[in-house]
Each structure stands twice: as structure tokens, then as C-alpha cells.
Amino acid sequence: MTARAKTPKAKSGAQKTPSARSAHKAIETQPVKTAVRRVVTADIGSVHTRVALYDLVEGQFRLVGRAQALTTAAPRGYDVSEGLRRALAELGDLSGLNFLSADREQRLLMGEEYGNTFVATASGGKPIRTVLVGLMPNISLESGKRALESTYVELVDALDLLDVRTPEQQVNAILRATPDLILIVGGTNSGANAPMRALIETVRLAVQLAPGMKPVVLYAGNAALSAFVREQLEDHVLLYVTENVRPSLERESFDPIRLELALLYGDYRARTTPGFKTVQDASELGVLPSVESYGNIVRYLADASGRKQNVLMVDVGSSTVTVCAMVRGALNVTIRSDLGLGHSAVSGVEAVGARNIARWLTFEPAPNEIMDYAWNKTLRPATVPEISRELELEYALARELIRAAMQTSRQGWQGVPINAPLPPMQPIIGVGSVLAQPINAGIGALLLLDALQPLGIVDLRLDPYGVMASMGSLIHLEPLMVVQVLETGGLLNLATAICPSGKASGTALEARITYADGRSREVRMPSNTLRVVPVPIGQRAQVSVKLGRGLRLNGKRRLTFQAQGSAVGLLFDTRGRPLVLPRDTSKRAELLPKWYEAVQESS
């Protein structure tokens, strides 16, 4: 979608010199010159292992096949590579290629000698229990926390200079926390040593006393103390030392520590998940956390327009909800390991509150019905709702999980007040089965609109094939391929949502949609309604919108723009912001089905 507002400013913008976007277009149309000809990707989630095949078609990389199987980590099986083999077997059947040896061993036929490149990402599995150690809570510890956002961790304790606990209590705290990882940050490279030495000694004593499996220690603090850290810890734990995340008060350096954390994630999973090592060994880059890939793609999309636009991605998984947002040029990543639709359903309901979930239901849930539902989902995360009542619960939970994750994410958005409406995002991408495989594409769009409540004209996209995870991991290895896959339908255009702000009485919106073949149709809508006008994928349409008094779209009452075709089409939303849901169940029972019906209808 390209906005074409009738203002001098917009016109001058349209005539700018070749931008990054046109450069990308140039790449897209050029045949690829690369050593890589075929790429197989795998994303191991908590419930599903998804594989995809990318190949050159007429000189351009395309997604040519995909398959999935249940992830075979505990408690289902004991070897995560088994699920990968099952998915690859299916991909092999679909593509006519062999990805597994024919013998009983079923080795993974991956790598240059088999004519392919294999990359794997993972988002599933138990989060890494992490203790963060740093000097100042609002300086190094903050940098450490931001670095940890790039991977799947559960922060179980933090030690710092202002900690009122005695060293004895701190040692006990670390022992009680039973961390898998201790991340030590703190001290600028020219800063004081003594306080850091004391903290490092506390860590050393704790890991010495820890029975059983020792935590891994990652040091990303004052570079002058690296030798001391090695001397203290090397004999007791697996120690990694990387560049200082906060080399000076004014500067943060995230790339080295994020890379180390990504590698650590792979190593941690390889140590704790049977079969993971097999996948890690076969993959060109080891197994990277999916969230790292999400960040890469969101950053790419933000830059692709040449305008540094805001981009938002939400992944509603079984064990985590991830928000990746590029806002005002800064990437914000939030992983909520307590939110999820399967493994984390119970903690998710506890976090968002059953009452908030109930406000999206057309029925009054029985006492404990929502929590019983969540418990059964946690016990059997791969199952799907089969009756309407449970599907409604699932959709309601999904909306609230996204809302909760967004609230956390927005705390880190610089210059955007937390309670302000969502700033313009282009596009918004949804990831996860509940969004990608609803009963109708319109429902996926509705869930995103309800949970995020965007304003303006926004492209909604879906990632039904796991492209975000796989392409994000390839962005450094094969950037041309990533560009081509993303710009040739790797992400599904779900809908173009038109969401005016404000409240109006009477007619809220009138629109004229003119298709490329000259046909046109008109839409007239009251407020508090939803309406879909199809624009099929591959087509474009010009949309002219006129709003009722009190409503604005991108600050204007009249607007004309070009819309790309999408699975749903144009989705006009005059419900206003924030959405108001009736407290009375009978009124909700009238209203919500109308919304569901509206987004599934093509007028």
C-alpha cells in the first residue's frame, strides 16, 4: 500500500531520488549470482517443527515447499531431530528431493555436498533461567536486560551494587535460583574494578557450591577485568567472555553480546534437549533463536521503504509471545515467556486475568472455565479447539496475550507515551497458528485489529510459512535471497485495514474503490462497524475515503491511496479507539458475532 495524500509534502516525497526501496526492486529483478542454489530451513517451535524449501525459479529465489510435524521434545518424545526428520520426509515427498538417507539411520542430507544450505532456528524449549549481575541498576543492568531480550530467557534474579543483601544472602539467592546462565555485565572499560571484583567472587562461590549441573557464565563487562574473571571462574564453569555491553556511560554495544547469546542458546538447547545437537551440527549457522531472525527481518522491512518506517511483528506461540517493533529507528524486542496459547496458557491467563479474557466472549463462562481450559491447553498444547465455545476462548485469550505483550513492549519505545494510541506501523505482521490458520483469513485480521487497535491505513501481513524465522537467519548469509523471498509473497498480504480515529454519529465513512480494470464500488458505513471489500491478491485498487465529522485518517477527513490486493482485501474499521466492549454479556452476544461475520463477508 502506498499512501498518496493530496498534499504538497506527499507529492514531493513521491518524486525523490532512487531510494533504498528502488534499490531493492533492482535486486529483485536481477538474476541471482550466488553459490547457494537451494536452501532448506527449519524452525523448531514448542509444538511444531516447520521446514521450508527455497529454490531458484527463473533466476529468483522462491519459497517452493513447506511441511511441518509435531516437535518431538519432552514430553512427547525424547529426540527433537525425530520431528525434524518427519517434517523433512514430508518436504521430500512434496518436492521430489531427498533430505534423509534411505537407511534406517535417516541421516540429514544437508550441506554443500548434498547441494543445499540448511539453517535452523528455534523458539521452543524451556527458557534459559538467568541471573543478571551488574554494577548499577539503571546503567549496566539495563543494558544487560536489553541484551537478554534477544533470546529466550527467564530472568530469575539480579545482583547489583545497590543490592541490600549480604554476600551470604546473594550466594543463597543464586543457589536457590538454580540458573542455567549467569550474565555478568557492569563497569565501563575505564571504570572502577573493586566493586565488580566482589560481585565476581560472589558468583564464583555460588557456582562452586552449586550441586549438579553448573550454570554457564557469560561475561560482558569491564574489559580490564576479563583476566580476573577467567582466573576466578574458568575452573568451575563453562565461561564465555565477550565485549563489554556498556564500554562507556554513553555507549552500548549489543551486537557482540547478542551474537554470543544466540550461540549460547543453541549450546544450551543442545545440552538440555536430546537430538538438538544433531540439528545444530547440520545447520550452517548452528541453531539460532527465532527472535534474532525476527529482529533482522523487522529491521530490514523498516529500512526497505527508505523512510525508516515503524514496523511491528507479533508472534503468538505456545510457550511465548514475542513482540518485535522498530519504532522511531530503534528495534525493541520483547519476549514474554509467561504468555502463550499452549505451554504457557496457565501463566498467560494468570498474567492477563480471566476477567479480561471474558470480555471477548459471547457467553458468561462458568466459574473456573477459563482456567480449566488453560490448564488443559498447557497439558496438551498441540490440541486444537473443536467446538465453537472453545474456539471463542482461544481467540479471546490470543487477543489478551497480544495486548499484555504489547504493554510490556511499549515500555521500551522511546518517545512514545505508553497510553497513547499505537503509532503508525507499516506493516503489522502476525505470526503463530492462531493468527495464520484461523477459520477464515478475516478472523486473523480481526484478532490483530482487536488486540493492537492500530489507527490509520495499515497493511496487515501474516507469516503462515515460518518465513520470518528462516529468512531472518539467512539475512547475513544470503541477503539477496531474503529480499527476493520477502518481496515475492514470502509473507502473505492479509488485509489493508482502514482505521479512522475519533467518534462520529451517522455515517462514519464513505469510500470509493476503483479497481485496475476500471470497475468500482462504493461503501457507506456507520460508526462501530466493520466491513470488508475484496481486492484479490495480485491486483491493486485506488481507494478514496471520505470520513464523517469527528473522524480522521492519517490526520485527514479525505484521503486517496493505492491498495495492494490481499487475502481479505480492504478492511474498513469504524469502531473507534479504544474499542469499547459491552459489559453486559447479552449485548456482547449481539455485537461480537457481527464483527466475526463482517470480516468473513466479502461485500
361 binds other proteins (CB under 8 A): no
Give the closest residue to 244 by CA, choosing from 150, 144, 155, 152: 144
CB-wise, 380 or 583, nearer to other proteins? 380
Strand, coil or helix: 229: helix
Please identify, among the stretches 144-152, 188-196, 204-212, 411-419, the one whose residues bind other proteins according to the rule CB under 8 A. Answer: 204-212
368 binds other proteins (CB under 8 A): yes
89 binds other proteins (CB under 8 A): yes
Q: What's the CA gap between 541 and 4, in Å, rounded? A: 13
235 binds other proteins (CB under 8 A): no
420 binds other proteins (CB under 8 A): no
**Residue of the chain from 213, 330, 516, 537 that contacts other proteins (CB under 8 A):** 213
Q: What's the CA gap between 362 and 95, in Å, rounded? A: 44
CB-wise, 376 or 407, nearer to other proteins? 376
Q: Binding to other proteins (CB under 8 A): which residues in 104-133?
A: 104, 106, 125-126
329: left (phi over 0), alpha (psi -120 to 50) or beta: left
335 binds other proteins (CB under 8 A): no
76 binds other proteins (CB under 8 A): yes
Asked if residue 61 lies in contact with residue 43, where contact means CB atoms within 8 angstroms, the answer is no
Binding marks (x or -) toward other proteins, 369..398, rule CB under 8 A? Answer: x-xxxxxx-xxxxxxxxxxx-xx-------
212 binds other proteins (CB under 8 A): yes
Neighbours of 165 (CB within 10 A): 13
Query: CA dist 159 to 22, 196, 388, 469, Å?
Result: 49, 11, 48, 33
Please identify, among the stretches 77-85, 133-141, 505-513, 581-589, the one whose residues bind other proteins according to the rule CB under 8 A. Answer: 77-85
74 binds other proteins (CB under 8 A): yes
CB-wise, 433 or 493, nearer to other proteins? 433
23 binds other proteins (CB under 8 A): no
Asked if residue 184 lies in contact with residue 229, where contact means CB atoms within 8 angstroms, the answer is yes
158 binds other proteins (CB under 8 A): no
Binding marks (x or -) toward other proteins, 296..325, rule CB under 8 A? Answer: -----------------------x------
171 binds other proteins (CB under 8 A): yes
Give the closest residue to 327 by CA, choosing from 356, 348, 299: 299
**Residue of the chain from 158, 175, 259, 581 that contacts other proteins (CB under 8 A):** 175
Please identify, among the stretches 363-371, 413-421, 424-432, 559-567, the one whose residues bind other proteins according to the rule CB under 8 A. Answer: 363-371
Binding marks (x or -) toward other proteins, 42..71, rule CB under 8 A? Answer: ----x--------------------x-xx-
What is the residue type of 487? E
Q: Least separation, in Å, of the C-beta of 182 and other proteins? A: 16
Give the closest residue to 311 by CA, choosing from 468, 471, 152: 468
Q: Would you mind telling me the total number of residues written for the chain in this entry? A: 603
Q: Least separation, in Å, of the C-beta of 191 and other proteins? A: 25
Q: Which residues pair with 287 in a beta bridge?
A: 120
Asked if residue 446 lies in contact with residue 599, where contact means CB atoms within 8 angstroms, the answer is yes
Q: What's the CA gap between 572 and 388, in Å, rounded? A: 26
**Residue of the chain from 93, 231, 234, 522 that contacts other proteins (CB under 8 A):** 93
Q: What's the CA gap between 410 and 408, in Å, rounded? A: 6
What is the residue type of 119? V
Strands (E), 12-171: 38-44, 48-57, 60-70, 117-122, 128-133, 153-159
82 binds other proteins (CB under 8 A): yes
Strands 311-316 and 428-431: parallel
Q: What's the CA gap between 363 and 15, in Å, rounded? A: 54
Please identify, among the stretches 165-173, 183-191, 449-457, 568-576, the one whose residues bind other proteins according to the rule CB under 8 A. Answer: 165-173
Q: Which DSSP letter does residue 273 get? A: S
Interface with other proteins: number of residues (CB under 8 A): 61
Query: CA dist 315 to 43, 287, 383, 430, 598, Å?
Result: 13, 19, 18, 6, 25
Which residues sit at the interface with other proteins, rule CB under 8 A? Answer: 46, 67, 69-70, 72, 74-78, 82, 86, 89-90, 93, 100, 102, 104, 106, 125-126, 167-168, 171-172, 175, 178, 205, 208-209, 211-213, 319, 343, 367-369, 371-376, 378-388, 390-391, 437-440
